[in-house]
Structure 1
């Protein structure tokens, strides 16, 4: 074993095409001296310290000679005590192969963030989160991501082990189909934000699929952090009763975005901040691969979670994420403000979603879930329903809504649609609810909450009607709220709908 110190004085600063990054001195091996010696190994260990203010990504070049069957990497770092309110050390890790580290390039081979202390890659297998395939000769790069750095600095140690020998045959990936057996045009329930053990989740795809079926879901979306490595591992879990879409949670330092329903094997880079002006390029990458761009938990309070890229590239927004909390309430209010701006400015509106973001027990898959009116249970049909806003969000399979608006001459519109009536034509808004005992209905418009019902009966079913005009309400959407003991503060959501628009569309 050889050891080397990579002190900060040996760094070289370069620009990847986005944020500045740090490249350390390279790690070298025997340049093929062991090639052909089956199971022979070489190991190198490097150490260094990163100061506060380090770039987002630190690259450790590794010269990989010919004849390598497996590369294995492990790392540790110090976690000193810090004063209350001060961020401690957190260090993520991943790797790029001989194709390089170019932003959006071909070199990505895996990322585990802070979820693992070691990983391996070989032609036939890899640690979850990493992409199997040949370990070809050339300069590979281990990427360290100093998520937060303590005032004392971040002291790390990285160990690289190469195993020589003949690589095993690489299996051909198999992906889940893009359709399941649907019910024609119908309401389909889904959860599009789920994490498996291919990132920082603790559940296998099989366990997630079983929980999805138990939750009454018709479709799910694979969304592991910053990797597409899970995509080939979902084929066995799909079935006539469950559509499995493939994607990624693109986890940047300025917010997270769901790539929802991309083509199998699509990787979307995450190494940029809002100030780098690169997000539009990767939003187009998502859509070019057949996916939707959905900012996730935009007002979450975790480091790097708050959304700072704006919503100009979004196809929908995740307003409700997991158990209902104050940041979801803020996201709901912010989304409603965007609706108001859209109707007053005469521009496109942004539909809302809700997903579980489930990682491990006791996280509940399908709580909440997005219920979509789609022409069939296919990837394209579900995406089209989400993009059009023909959906509502419910806390579980027990809650069902039917929401509509009708005019005096038989005009009718449902969720995400427009009721085209004259400004002063009477409009009847109707909400039918099941599965929501003691919940209160609120009808919200561009003028605010204009109707609040009495609590529904213990049986949980009821119908609410409200009359208005297009001149009084440019849109109306429904909320179903639990009881609360906080005075005027509304209770947690049990469900909410996307809006129904009233009257003729305003042109900009």
Structure 2
């Protein structure tokens, strides 16, 4: 076993091709990975000069396993002659388990992979045994090289960083989406059409472990839709959305929490102009639960897709972080919500983050998210206005601080539209301190509550659907980031 980068990896014997060959040439590799295999297994491929196209197909066995036991799942990607060093200089693509074959050449590549010349040298197939059955994982990989002139390369065109906004206003967006450039089934054009139909102003491209989609959004963007680009960095210890990075930025994912490498890549995301947003931190899928802590987070995805129990846990965990921030006098981490939509019937914009920004630009949206000037709603049909005011005209909105003395009376006010028969709850560092009667069937209403900074260090609002039964609260329809009270 050879340790490469930040995660244990096994490098197998190399596969060679004849130099000076013509036409096409194929080699097939077979092997079996045992349970307990390292996170990554590299297969070196010696690529001779004069190759026009690099093509790979693979398959592996899927034996029956007992209930409660994981079966086989084998991911795949490729690194070129620049190597597999952590940081990704040689990265040329990753499809995870979404595809059984891929190709790349100078002018084109399979979605998930980067077009470019097939230069001579040692390339590496990267195998990721996500799960291995007790019987082991037997695989077969065929590499096919096509010889000939390389063809003309393509110059990437990226979406603009500005759309036609409304000045300082509330803008709606979905920052966690997947197209066919990773494990989604929709094209960028289809996602753009659905985003517009959902009433969104901005989206963020976030494919698993690849930047290949970045050059395919320019035609989707327009005056009415800002398209930011990023990545869902999908490690074995949790996923993080790199939100709004510079186009072409690739962020490596080949490490675990115990490797102490995440800080390096969080800094890379910020250097590339992006935000660091841990995704679905309490999701139950293997490798999805967030293990890196929140010290590097600019925001956290509290609500992911249709509201489920793991979102309720994430909401409670985030609220505990808010309590700790006011107790310790340190910065707080804003909440976000995104759809994580992959394919039909996944709904783009369920939920969506509604951001108060100075304009509809990448930087302005990011600044609004980072400042917590946002709320999360299940659709564009639901709107909130949440403020706190003091007795002398002082007022503050979502993500802001109402600077009043501890005993100054404070009025908290939430105006809602589009939430029929929902209940409003005001939550503070002491817990839920006010619950309204159900809103009328019109879905409109105003709820007010009075408190002081001495009694509540912050107040945030939740709008919830009717509960199914008993004391368990209903699913969220919307919730806000907090308004902080007091002079701190």
Q: How does 1:324-403 map to 2 (within 5 A)?
A: 324-403=307-386
> Displacement, 1:330?
0.1
> Displacement, 1:23?
0.3
> Equivalent of 2:430, from 447, 469, 479?
447
Instruction: Give me the whole-angstrom Cα distance separating, in 2, the residues matched to 1:408 and 1:164.
Output: 78
Deviation string for 1:226-255 (max 9, x for gaps)?
A: 000000000000000000000000000000
Match of 2:292 in 1: 309
Q: Secondary structure at the match of 1:290?
A: coil
Match of 1:6 in 2: none
Q: Secondary structure at the match of 2:355?
A: strand
Match of 1:75 in 2: 58
Deviation string for 1:459-494 (max 9, x for gaps)?
A: 000000100000000000000000012211100000
> Displacement, 1:430?
0.2
Match of 1:5 in 2: none
RMSD (Å) for aligned C-alpha atoms:
0.5
Count matched residues: 488
TM-score of the superposed pair, with normalisation by structure 1: 0.96
Deviation string for 1:183-202 (max 9, x for gaps)?
A: 00000000000000000000
> Equivalent of 1:251, from 206, 209, 234?
234
2:488 counterpart of 1:500: no
Deviation string for 1:19-45 (max 9, x for gaps)?
A: 110000000000x221xx4xx000000
> Displacement, 1:154?
0.5
**Stretches of 4+ aligned residues off by more than 3 angstroms:** none
Q: Secondary structure at the match of 2:204?
A: strand
> Equivalent of 1:101, from 78, 84, 90?
84
Instruction: Give me the whole-angstrom Cα distance separating, in 2, the residues matched to 1:493 and 1:361.
Output: 22
Instruction: Give me the whole-angstrom Cα distance separating, in 2, the residues matched to 1:76 and 1:409.
Output: 70
Q: Unpaired runs of 5+ in structure 2?
A: none
Q: Secondary structure at the match of 1:235?
A: coil
Deviation string for 1:107-166 (max 9, x for gaps)?
A: 000000000000000000000000000000000000000000000000000100000000
Q: How does 1:145-294 map to 2 (within 5 A)?
A: 145-294=128-277
> Displacement, 1:50?
0.4
Q: Unpaired runs of 5+ in structure 1?
A: 1-12
Instruction: Give me the whole-angstrom Cα distance separating, in 2, the residues matched to 1:484 and 1:443.
Output: 17
Match of 1:121 in 2: 104
Instruction: Give me the whole-angstrom Cα distance separating, in 2, the residues matched to 1:259 and 1:485.
Output: 36
> Displacement, 1:447?
0.3
> Displacement, 1:167?
1.1
Deviation string for 1:376-428 (max 9, x for gaps)?
A: 00000000000000000000000000000000000000000000000000000
Instruction: Give me the whole-angstrom Cα distance separating, in 2, the residues matched to 1:70 and 1:17.
Output: 28
Instruction: Give me the whole-angstrom Cα distance separating, in 2, the residues matched to 1:424 and 1:14.
Output: 64
